Structure formats: C-alpha cells, structure tokens
Structure 1
Amino acid sequence: MAKDSDKQKIVHVHLPKEETYSTTLTAGPHELMADEPTEVEGGRDQGPDPYDYLLMALGSCTVMTIRMYIQHKGWPVDDVYMELRHNKRHAEDCEKCEDPKSKIDIIEKEVIVEGELSEEQMDRILDISQKCPVHRTLLSDIKIESSITHK
C-alpha cells in the first residue's frame, strides 16, 4: 500500500483543437487558464502566460515560507508581498555558455516587507526567501521525464 508521501500530484493541461493557445489547467478542484498575450499571433490574453505562472509559483511559495518563518519568530510584520520579473540576457552574462548567441534566464525577486524590523531581521528574511521549496527546485538539477500516449 502506498504511503501519502508516495502519491504524486497530477496537474492536467488541455489545449482544445479549436483554440490557438488558450489552455485549461486543472489541479485538483482548481481550474485556471493560460494563454499568450495578444502581441503573439493567435494569443487572446485570456490568462497568464506560462512564465507568469512560473513566477507566481515561485512568489507564492516564497511569501508562504517567509510568513511561516516570521510567525514562528513572532516578528511584527504587517504585510509581505513580492514583485518578480523574468527576462533573458545575452551570453555576455553567461561565462560558461557554449553558443555565443545563447541567452540565460534571469528571475528577479523583490521581497517587500511592511513592519517594524531591524536590518538584521530584514537580512534574515531575504535569506529565508531563498530557501522556499520552489526556489530550491529551480536552482537544483532537474530531470524532466517525458512520455507520449496515443489514443
């Protein structure tokens, strides 16, 4: 018998043939939409794009991790939120890139904390922000195992 920790979460992603990019994402009872912006031919901007979801996953995990930490410490924090940005920079920023035209992905995370905190507490919160599970996953060696099923 499988333990709860052995159960894998399944996310279902569906792009119907009548849609160009508008995609339905289902995680348990939660349904979301993804799409490309209107600047992309065929995009209708009916939902965040895939990189938006990546940033939202990282940001939500980060603020949850921070909230757990500050509650444990009992620090006087009124609010915690983040602004995240993703871009690609040219290979000049990538010393080990083999392809001279390559770009590296850069994610900028800005943690915004409202409350009466010392500089030392703020530094600790910044350190904790880099320890959330999604942050660690994105920085780790990731193996994606792909398969295909024909119906």
Structure 2
Amino acid sequence: MATDSDKKKIVHVHLPKDEIYTTTLTAGKHELVADEPERVEGGKDEGPDPYDYLLMALGSCTVMTVKMYARRKEWPLEDIFVELRHNKRHDEDCKNCDDEKSKIDVIEKDLVVKGDLTQKQVDRLLEIANKCPVNRTLLGDIKIMGSIEHT
C-alpha cells in the first residue's frame, strides 16, 4: 500500500504562448503566479519572481521548523518572522574579484523571535533555523536531472 511519502511530489509550471513571463504554478490544489518585474522588458509584475519564490520556500520552511521545535519543547515563542535577501557578490577570499564569474549567491536570513525566551533558547532556535529541510537542501549536494518532450 502506497503512503503519501511514497508518492512523488509534482509541481506543474506553465508559461502559455500568449505570455512573455507570467507563469502559472500549480502544486496540488494550490495555484500561484510568477512573473518578472516591470523593469525587465516584458515583465508585468503580476507575481513574485523565481528568486522570490526560492526565498519564500526557505523562509516558510525556517519559521515552520522553528515553531515546531519550540512547541515540542513547550518554549514561550509568541511570534516569529524571517526576512530574506538574495544577491550575488564576491566571496571574502576572492582571488579574481574583477571577474563577474567569480561571484557567488548569498542569501541573508534574519530571524526575529518574540516571547519570554532565554538567550540560550534564542541561540538554539537559530541553530534549528539553519537545519530546516530547505536550508539543508540548498547547502547540500544537489542534482537536477532535466529531460524534454517534444509534442
């Protein structure tokens, strides 16, 4: 008997021929829209851009993981926020800093927690935040296997 964990998770993404960038994303019964900002030629800013979705995936996983941990420990976590930024910049020990190709992706993740927590609990929540599954996926070895079908 197949369980939910045995099933492959499928996200469907569609960019119709009459759109330049506005894309429909479907995950189960949930539908979202992605687009490029208006400053990008053809962008209509009708939804977050792909990097926004990447940051939202990391952010939502982070706050869910931290809240789950705090609830399990019965810690007085009242509220939690995370702000994320993505940019490309040279690594601190860059040897070819004039080369655009030497830039790396950097995600800054600032966590804000509210509640009557000790400093030790706050420090532990940061450790837990950095162990959320999406965080671990982004930092781990990743293989993306692509295929194409022509109809």
Shared fold, TM over 0.5: yes
Measured against the shorter chain, the TM-score band is: over 0.9
State the alpha-carbon separation in 1 of the partners of residues 108 and 86 from structure 2: 6
* 1:19 aligned partner: 19
Task: Output aligned runs, 1:77-92, within 5 Å.
Answer: 77-90=77-90, 92=91
Q: Does 1:132 align with 2:132?
A: yes
* 2:117 aligned partner: 117
Aligned length: 150
Task: Output aligned runs, 1:2-151, within 5 Å.
Answer: 2-90=2-90, 92-93=91-92, 95=94, 100-102=99-101, 103-151=103-151
State the alpha-carbon separation in 2 of the partners of residues 132 and 16 from structure 1: 34
The one-letter amino acid paired with 1:24 is T
Displacement of 1:81 after TM fit? 1.1
State the alpha-carbon separation in 1 of the partners of residues 71 and 6 from structure 2: 29
Displacement of 1:131 after TM fit? 0.7
Displacement of 1:95 after TM fit? 4.1
Pairwise CA RMSD of aligned residues?
Answer: 1.9
The gaps in structure 2 that reach 5 residues or longer are none
Percent sequence identity is 66
Displacement of 1:5 after TM fit? 2.6
TM-score (norm 1): 0.93
State the alpha-carbon separation in 2 of the partners of residues 137 and 86 from structure 1: 16
TM-score (norm 2): 0.93
The one-letter amino acid paired with 1:100 is D
Residue 10 of structure 1 contacts residue 27 of structure 1 at CA under 8 Å; is this kept in 2?
A: yes
